[in-house]
């Protein structure tokens, strides 16, 4: 868990009722089903869930980068600038949106390192990217900034003269992170930024991002399947299932007492990064087909604690019935929102220790 967080209570991004679909008519898939999520200034917010649960769709929709056939079908994404009134990113015109993008919100996506142009030197690619947003900066200033950025992500600035193929995968991904940080954004979105790298390199880069965040104070949305990694690096975690957030809370509280049976299952699917080894049991079954969702709770068919009500009524994401959890801790599960039902034993989660 992050020890010296720079998080504050001030919201930077407030996602409300966000809905997104893929395709039209009968083939339409509701990939986001009304997501509410707030990112606070300076925090690391982790987003976890199995493949296909909508993590990427959520961040691409929230930044208006959702590629066709994706379509936003409802909701608001309020961005709170440093000065001035909040704006709904979904209502901005193209010009305002371009200005917001990258200056305020930067994105490093899965496999970004492969998007460097193979025929240009790294230095040129960084300075070109800077000049697109800072046309008034002279060449010397742009080059100086490029050197600074390379140092920031732990690469010798002499490598600015290299072509992409002369750098390792980890270095290329660092270059992409450097580019994302070029304009000192307030929000850095990272969609599985280290998936294509070996585990040692993954670990190094994740640690560096957390360090940079402390130094520069930006907020991070970090997407991964690996909830154990998030427990180490995130301030808060949101768990997604079938296009919805099903649990949200501080990393510490989610680790100590995961409330949603899906969160419990995810935690048992990844080895903890520290502490004793334990058996990984995973989650039986697979996520539902988004075109044929079960009635009631979407997780009911896989849930070891399923009750009659779960098969008919959809649970809302609400504060839990456990007084110690506080209002920030929310879960969409009848086990925790119905006062007539007792919370099950924590499935031996207390055996998990760092
Ligand atoms: N181009 C597309 N066309 C149709 N449906 C899509 C498309 N992209 C995504 N989807 C649907 O949206 C759902 C959410 O996908 P998304 O990529 O957001 O999930 P994810 O949680 O980020 O998965 P991963 O971890 O594999 O990246 C998927 O289940 C899929 O059915």
Query: What does the alpha-carbon distance between residue 260 and residue 343 come to, in Å, rounded to a whole number?
Result: 10
Q: Which residues line ligand 1 (CB under 6 A)?
A: 22-23, 29, 31, 49, 51-57, 69, 290
Classify residue 137: in a domain, yes or no: yes
Q: In 209-323, at which residue ranges do the beta strands (DSSP E only) sit?
A: 219-224, 236-241, 244-250, 318-319
Q: How far apart are the CA of 237 and the centre of ligand 1, in A?
A: 20
Domain extent at residue 155: 118-183
Classify residue 108: in a domain, yes or no: no
Query: What does the alpha-carbon distance between residue 155 and residue 288 come to, in Å, rounded to a whole number?
Result: 43
Nearest CA to ligand 1 atom 3: 22
For the chain, the domain total comes to: 1
Nearest CA to ligand 1 atom 1: 69
Q: How many degrees, rounded to 5, is the angle at CA 150 between CA 155 and CA 206?
A: 70
Query: What does the alpha-carbon distance between residue 313 and residue 2 come to, in Å, rounded to a whole number?
Result: 37
Q: How far apart are the CA of 243 and the centre of ligand 1, in A?
A: 9
Nearest CA to ligand 1 atom 5: 22
Residues linked to residue 318 through DSSP beta bridges, in sequence order: 331
pLDDT at position 286 is: 87
- The β-bridge relationship of strands 236-241 and 244-250 is antiparallel
Query: What does the alpha-carbon distance between residue 138 and residue 141 come to, in Å, rounded to a whole number?
Result: 5
> 63, 105 in Cβ contact below 8 A?
yes
To test the pocket of ligand 1, the residue of 26, 52, 66, 190 to mutate (highest count of ligand atoms within 8 Å of its CB) is 52
Classify residue 145: in a domain, yes or no: yes
Classify residue 148: in a domain, yes or no: yes
Classify residue 26: in a domain, yes or no: no
Classify residue 250: in a domain, yes or no: no
Q: In 192-317, at which residue ranges do the beta strands (DSSP E only) sit?
A: 219-224, 236-241, 244-250
Residue-by-residue pLDDT tens, the chain, 354 positions = 444 466 678 999 999 999 999 988 888 999 999 999 999 999 999 999 999 999 999 999 999 889 999 999 999 999 998 888 999 999 988 888 876 666 788 888 877 777 889 999 999 999 998 998 888 999 999 999 999 999 988 899 999 999 999 998 888 988 998 998 888 889 999 998 777 677 777 778 888 888 888 888 899 999 988 888 888 889 999 999 999 999 999 999 998 889 999 999 998 887 666 666 666 667 888 888 898 899 999 999 999 999 999 999 999 999 887 777 877 899 999 998 755 554 444 443 333 322
Query: What does the alpha-carbon distance between residue 208 and residue 152 come to, in Å, rounded to a whole number?
Result: 9
- List Cβ neighbours of 34 (8 Å cut-off, separation of 6 or more): 17, 18, 19, 74, 75, 244
Nearest CA to ligand 1 atom 30: 52
- List Cβ neighbours of 322 (8 Å cut-off, separation of 6 or more): 257, 259, 329, 336, 343
pLDDT at position 354 is: 23
- List Cβ neighbours of 66 (8 Å cut-off, separation of 6 or more): 20, 57, 60, 72
pLDDT at position 6 is: 66
pLDDT at position 276 is: 60
Instruction: Give the predicted TM-score (pTM) of the model.
Output: 0.88
Classify residue 178: in a domain, yes or no: yes
Classify residue 230: in a domain, yes or no: no
């Amino acid at each position: 868990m992050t020890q010296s967080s720079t998080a504050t209570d001030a919201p930077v991004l407030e996602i409300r009722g966000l809905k997104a679909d893929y395709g039209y008519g009968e083939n339409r898939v509701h990939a986001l089903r009304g997501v509410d999520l707030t990112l606070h200034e300076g925090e690391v917010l982790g987003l976890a869930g199995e493949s296909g649960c909508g993590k990427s769709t959520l961040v691409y929709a929230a930044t208006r980068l959702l590629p066709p056939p994706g379509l936003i079908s409802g909701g608001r994404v309020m961005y709170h600038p440093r000065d001035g009134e909040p704006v709904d990113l979904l209502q901005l015109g193209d010009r305002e949106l371009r200005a917001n993008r990258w200056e305020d919100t930067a994105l490093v996506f899965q496999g970004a390192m492969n998007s460097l142009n193979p025929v240009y030197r790294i230095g040129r690619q960084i300075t070109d990217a800077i000049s697109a947003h800072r046309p008034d900066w002279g060449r010397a200033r742009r080059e100086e900034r490029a050197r600074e950025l390379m140092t920031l992500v732990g690469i010798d600035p002499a490598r600015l003269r290299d072509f992409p193929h002369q750098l390792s995968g980890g270095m290329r991904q660092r270059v992409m992170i450097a580019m994302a940080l070029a304009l000192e954004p307030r929000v850095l979105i990272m969609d599985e930024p280290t998936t294509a790298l070996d585990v040692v390199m993954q670990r190094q880069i994740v640690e560096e991002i957390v360090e940079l965040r402390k130094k520069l104070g930006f907020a991070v949305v970090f997407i991964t399947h690996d909830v154990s990694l998030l427990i180490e690096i995130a301030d808060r975690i949101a768990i997604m299932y079938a296009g919805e957030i099903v649990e949200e809370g501080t990393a510490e509280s989610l680790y100590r007492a995961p409330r949603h049976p899906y969160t419990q299952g995810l935690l048992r699917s990844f080895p903890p990064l520290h502490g004793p080894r334990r058996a990984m049991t995973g989650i039986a079954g697979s996520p539902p087909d988004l075109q044929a969702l079960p009635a009631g709770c979407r997780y009911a068919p896989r849930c070891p604690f399923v009750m009659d009500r779960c098969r008919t009524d959809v649970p809302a994401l609400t504060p839990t019935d456990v007084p110690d959890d506080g209002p920030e801790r929310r879960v969409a599960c009848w086990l925790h929102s119905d006062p007539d039902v007792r919370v099950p034993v924590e499935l031996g989660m207390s055996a998990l220790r760092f």
